[in-house]
Amino acid sequence: MKITRMEIRKLKLPLQRSFAMSFGEMNRKETVIVSLHTADGLTGYGESSSFSAPMYTHETNDTCMYIQEHFIAPRLVGREFDTVEEFCSAYRSVVGNRMARTGTECAFWHLLAQRDAVSLKHLVGGTRSTIPVGESIGIKQTMAETLEEIEQRLDEGYVRIKVKIAPDWDTQLLAAIRERWPGIDLTADANAAYQFTQHHKTLEALDAFNLSMLEQPFGADDMIEHAKLQAKLKTSICLDESIESLADIKTADALSAGRIVNIKPGRVGGLVESIKIHNYAVAHHLGVMCGGTFETGIGRAFNIALASLPGFIYPADMSPYQLYFAEDIVEPSYTVKLDGHIDVPDTPGLGFAVREDLIEQFTTQKVVVR
């Protein structure tokens, strides 16, 4: 397939409500949508679901667009690629910048799925037709508000509840949840808000709440601290921000820094690296879950395909768009069934129709490389 044009757009999407995490509050969501256009008339879409500020990883929407325009697109446009390996090797000189690479790589997977008339699930080697999903509850003003939202999500069928925690928003919250729902699948995500020396006693005490996992208590680089805590904790640590590559999961495994990995294609640089991490984790008896970074329906389509691989035994963070966005840019978007599962599309291509009119409407900045 010959790439004749790459378009990079920043979209600003209206949110239904804000979402707070230990590192900040999000009131609007900007994202970067990449499209690759071929000489045969195909269009492949991908998403770099970075944020406006470098709060989750070092990247922002603007750095993604800059890297894509100046360092990735010039290595792709005018060239022909038949496999994802050939495609990725064209810009292998671009190190880091994993979100920028993800949006680009996913657009090529979408082209491949169209060329071969197969589903993304088929392309990545997925085996499941449905995946269980859980909901992630942000940090709220009050306990009552949090409990109310949990109740609502459980009524809607979600099979796992994840709460965002931070120092001073942890023990009391988890105790209140456990008192009301002693048996639910409950996890806590700290988004790197704790420090070992200061907080390890508090974190060790979280064992009392029978969490199915404690996600990323310490900073992304604090692999040793995670290993020290995991050695003392019955609860499994799930590494999120710490795992950006296959090399990172190998390090984590060698140090016993955690027992579960949260794979987000955006954080690790695309589906190729995600599949490598998944395969390593399965071979080394580590648990795998699929997360996300508030992707629109375009980015989610790739996350859903990935989560259909057999190692993803924990419920995915995969809320329907209505929980956050006023409108999605695919149609129909997916829904969570009452049994807490979503269907994995098995039709050729993305599995969802792209609303190009809405992409146009939400675009605030556009770059075309031809």
Tell me which residues touch Mg ion (CB under 5 A).
189, 215, 240
202: which 2 tokens?
A: 């508090």
Residue number, 7 or 244, with CB nearest to Mg ion: 244
Q: What is the DSSP string of 88-122?
A: HHTTTT--S-HHHHHHHHHHHHHHHHHHTT-BHHH
> Please, what is the angle between helix 271-283 and helix 98-115, to 10°?
100
Residue number, 185 or 240, with CB nearest to Mg ion: 240
In angstroms, what is the minimal distance from the CB of 167 to Mg ion? Answer: 16
- Cα–Cα dist 73/8, whole Å: 9
- Cα–Cα dist 17/218, whole Å: 27
In angstroms, what is the minimal distance from the CB of 57 to Mg ion? Answer: 12
In angstroms, what is the minimal distance from the CB of 261 to Mg ion? Answer: 11
Select from 295, 260, 318 the least CA-distant residue to 56. 295
Residue number, 245 or 363, with CB nearest to Mg ion: 245
338: which 2 tokens?
A: 């009452």
Give 188's strand partners.
163, 214
- Cα–Cα dist 20/27, whole Å: 9
Residue number, 22 or 119, with CB nearest to Mg ion: 22
Residue number, 7 or 241, with CB nearest to Mg ion: 241
In angstroms, what is the minimal distance from the CB of 8 to Mg ion? Answer: 27
Catalytic residue set = 164, 264
Which long-range contacts (C-beta less than 8 Å, at least 24 apart) are formed by 137-143?
Answer: 137/161, 137/162, 137/163, 137/164, 138/18, 138/19, 138/20, 138/21, 138/164, 139/20, 139/21, 139/22, 139/164, 139/165, 139/166, 139/169, 140/20, 143/172, 143/173, 143/176
In angstroms, what is the minimal distance from the CB of 77 to Mg ion? Answer: 35
